[in-house]
Structure 1
Amino acid sequence: MLPKQDIMLKLAEIEESLNQLEQSLHDRISVEEEEGLGTLSDQIQKMDSQLSSLERKTGSKTVLMKNREKSYVLQKLELSFKTS
């Protein structure tokens, strides 16, 4: 083969290798994202279960909800204060 043809062949091989690596990386990232979302979902469910258990034990669901709302309102006020 001529040197130019050799170079073109090598470039084609390199391009194919890069395409395979890109696909492999994309697949791996997708799997890791799915696993991460699954783990996050499990943690949220666990925390929700713990909160429900706590609410049942204390019998004060409305008190806890009010505290959460105050916390949210407090956060909004702090944010408003910081941005003004």
Structure 2
Amino acid sequence: MINDNDIIETLAELEAFIRLVESGALGLENATGIALATNNADGRPFVAVLDQNHQLLYGRWVSAEVYENGKELIQNGLQKKH
């Protein structure tokens, strides 16, 4: 499910979204991964929360800038800040 009204516009917003997913604050059961993807119908980029079968549990649209520049953040995960 993707909420059309919520677009992640910055890397800081993407990081905050990842933190929400990782903390369990969104209440998603069986969430095992996060990926950047594009919609097959129109090519629009989004961040996807996936289950163990790689099925979409939750998604948020992202800007083109976040899609291009957030790949490393998704691949490497959040760095622990001391």
| Shared fold per TM-score greater than 0.5 | no
- Of Structure 1 and Structure 2, which has the larger fraction of its residues in strand? 2
With the shorter chain as reference, the TM-score category is under 0.3
Query: How high is the TM-score relative to the length of structure 1?
Result: 0.25
Task: Report which of the two structures shows the higher radius of gyration computed on alpha carbons.
Answer: 1
- Of Structure 1 and Structure 2, which has the larger fraction of its residues in helix? 1
